Structure formats: structure tokens, C-alpha cells
Structure 1
Amino acid sequence: MITTGQSITNPVTGETLVFRTTSADTNGETVVVETFVEPNGAVAAAHVHPQQEETFEVLAGELEFRLGKRKLVAKPGDRVLVPAGTPHKFRNIGEDTAHFVCEVKPALGFEQLIETMFTLAEDGKVNRKGMPNPLRLAVIARHHFDDVRLPFPPAWLQKLGLAMGAPLGRLLGYKPNYEPQAPKAPTALGV
């Protein structure tokens, strides 16, 4: 469970998030994360939050945002509003670490989703873009369908695919929340 002040890093996408305000702090109304994105770092994939709006306030660096079909570059002092239902993604196009504050309203399952995806990346269980295998992703995506989905194909078709893929993923032992397995205890040699 994410706590205020907790930091989490995705080594594949180059993002580090520091949770400044959590859903527990606001009774589920808001999550505020201070975000650092390494040069060439980017969110794992274009996505849509059907019920959440995000506001990005850039403090340092240069970020390229794609909002629907629109592309824009945000620099220090710029604020970018992403209304609910808007396909979007971002990437650091500068030579230095980009730094911004992102506010997500309402919180819904945002923290749980980020914790799952970043922990999978930390444990090497994602591809070079930061995405887990399709069956694990189906389990996670079905659980978080109200939080995030792909911009394409249409939501009904995504639901259909998840209705088939998620049960198979569950049969293979995948869960909607990823918790790393405890490291195995060392064994004595020669015993």
C-alpha cells in the first residue's frame, strides 16, 4: 500500500514518483505525485483514464505530451490538463531529468496500478517498453478497467478481449496486484 512520502521507480521507463498526497489523505479524492523522468524516459504506453483528470505542472525539463491527436511541448511553468477520457502519453525530450507534479482526480485505483506496474519493472517482469506479458497484463487491465485503458480498440472490444485473457492469466497464477516473492533463504553448503 502506497504511503505519503513513498518513492517508487520504474527502471525501464525512467520514471520516479514521490507520493506527496495519497488517496488515504484525501478520502479518495486526489493523488498528487512529484515525478522525475530521466532523459528519453516516457510513460509505458498511450492510455486513457475514463473517469480521472490529470493536471501536470512542469517544474524542470522539457516534456512532449500527446493529447489525442495534438502534440505539445511543456516547459517549466507550464500546466497541462488532461480531461477524463482523453488519450495521452508523455516523454522527456530534454537532455536533463524532467520534473513535474501530477494531480490525479479522483484517486480510484491509481496508486495500486502504479505500484503494481513499477514493481513488475523493478523485478524484470516487463518488456523493454515497461509492459508485462499479455496474460498478466490482461489480469491487471481487467481489474483496473475503470482506472485506465488503451485508446484503441474501442472499450467494448477491450472488455471482450480481457474477458477471455484475464481468466487464462488467473489460471496461470497472475493476480491484479503484484507482490514480489520473498527472497529464498540461503542454504548451507554440503547439507
Structure 2
Amino acid sequence: MATADQRFGMPDGSVYIVRRPAAETGGEAVEMEFVLPARCVAPPPHVHPSQTEEYEVLEGTLDVIVDGHRTTLREGERATVPVAALHTFANRSGRTVRVRNWHRPALRFEDYIERTSTTLREAGVRRRRDPRIALHVSMVMFEFAETLAPGRRRERVPMRVLALLGRRLRAG
């Protein structure tokens, strides 16, 4: 279980900071801060089957793509992703972006971020273009399917294959 101000680093230099863990809100929400370096790796398009997600840009600009519609958020602007909406985000700017993020209800989102960070670190993944990232992210995502899941067949099928392959490789 994550604690306030706990930081989770990713190979692309992104840092996810827990600001208010689920334990502090009785599971109602988890509040995080995303520190996203220029051209960081965007998460695959995904859905939250029973959560809303909200972004507020603290510094820089962030592209949020919801159901195929791209919006560029600037400092002070917010966007909300409805339950089960296909979405992702990207920092296409040339500088670091800081974003406040909420997931309501919290479910296991902070655990997902922690597991992703830990899994990539333990696998020795150190750079953003490491081909093993897709394998490990797929494995973790399917462990947290009630929290987030690939939203379209074109992501779901290859990610499921990668997750199965990853499990077999670990077992062998």
C-alpha cells in the first residue's frame, strides 16, 4: 500500500508521486502527481471499467486523448475522463510537464503504478525504448484488470499474448 509522497520512477524518466493515497480517502480516490519528461512514453490506450480519471496541469502542456478526441491542456486547465472511456495522454512538448491526477474510486491504481515501476526496475529496464517494456506492462495491466484494461481489440490481443509470453518466460 502506497504512502503519501511515495515516488515511483519509470525507465523514461517519468515519476509518479502519490499525494493522497487511497487509505487517506477511505478508497474514495487516489491523488497523484505525474512528472512527465519531454516525449515520455505514453500509456497504451486504455479504459477504467469503473473509475473516472481527472487531470489538472500544474506546469507545461499535456495532450489528453479521450475517445479519439485530442485536447491540449495548459497550466491550470483540467479534463475528466468518464468511466469506461478509451483514453491516453502524451507529453509531446519539449519540456517536463507536471500533472495532478485523480482516480475515483481509487481501487488499486496506486498499486498498479507501484507494481509497474517495481517490475520494470527488477527486470533491469533502464531506457524508454527498451522492447521489454511492452511485455512487462502487459503482464502488470492484466493483473489489475478491474482498475484498467486495454480498451480496443488491437491493443488487447497483442497485450494478452505478451502477458502470457511473459508469464511463461518467468516460469521457464
Q: What TM-score comes out, normalization by structure 2 length?
A: 0.82
Per-residue deviation, residues 85-106 of structure 1 (Å, max 9, x unmatched): 1111111122221011001101
Q: Distance in 2 between the 1:80 and 1:47 partners?
A: 16
Shift of 1:133: 5.7
Aligned identity (percent) is 27
Runs (4+) of structure 1 exceeding 6 A deviation are: 164-168
Matches within 5 A, 1:60-99: 60-99=59-98
- Answering whether residue 123 of structure 2 is matched by residue 128 of structure 1, we say no
Matches within 5 A, 1:132-171: 132=133, 134=135, 139-153=139-153, 162=160, 170=167
Contact 2:47/2:86 (8 A) holds in 1: yes
Higher strand content, 1 or 2: 2
Q: What SS does structure 2 have at the residue aligned with 1:18?
A: strand
Mark the CA change 1:47 to 1:131 in structure 2 (over 3 Å): closer, same or farther.
Answer: farther
Q: Distance in 2 between the 1:31 and 1:2 partners?
A: 10
- Answering whether residue 105 of structure 2 is matched by residue 106 of structure 1, we say yes
Q: Distance in 2 between the 1:63 and 1:113 partners?
A: 22
**Which of 1 and 2 has greater Rg?**
1
Q: Distance in 1 between the 2:57 and 2:80 partners?
A: 11
Shift of 1:116: 1.1
Per-residue deviation, residues 119-174 of structure 1 (Å, max 9, x unmatched): 2333434872786464x55553332111111121199x76xx95x88677556546
- The amino acid that maps onto 1:128 is R
Q: Distance in 2 between the 1:129 and 1:46 partners?
A: 19
Q: What SS does structure 2 have at the residue aligned with 1:34?
A: strand
Matches within 5 A, 1:1-20: 1-12=1-12, 14-20=13-19
Q: In the alignment, what sits opposite 1:119?
A: 118
Higher helix content, 1 or 2: 2
Per-residue deviation, residues 32-51 of structure 1 (Å, max 9, x unmatched): 00111101114331211111
Q: Which runs of 5+ in 1 are unaligned?
A: 175-191
Q: What SS does structure 1 have at the residue aligned with 2:25?
A: coil
Q: Distance in 2 between the 1:109 and 1:150 partners?
A: 16
The higher relative CO (CA closer than 8 Å, separation ≥ 6) is in: 2
Q: Which range moves more in the overlay, 123-132 or 60-69?
A: 123-132
C-alpha RMSD of the superposition = 2.8
Q: How many residue pairs were aligned?
A: 168
Q: What TM-score comes out, normalization by structure 1 length?
A: 0.74
Q: In the alignment, what sits opposite 1:38?
A: 37
Contact 1:44/1:131 (8 A) holds in 2: no
Q: What SS does structure 2 have at the residue aligned with 1:4?
A: coil
Mark the CA change 1:142 to 1:68 in structure 2 (over 3 Å): closer, same or farther.
Answer: same
Q: Distance in 1 between the 2:28 and 2:5 partners?
A: 18
Q: Which runs of 5+ in 2 are unaligned?
A: none
Contact 1:121/1:130 (8 A) holds in 2: no
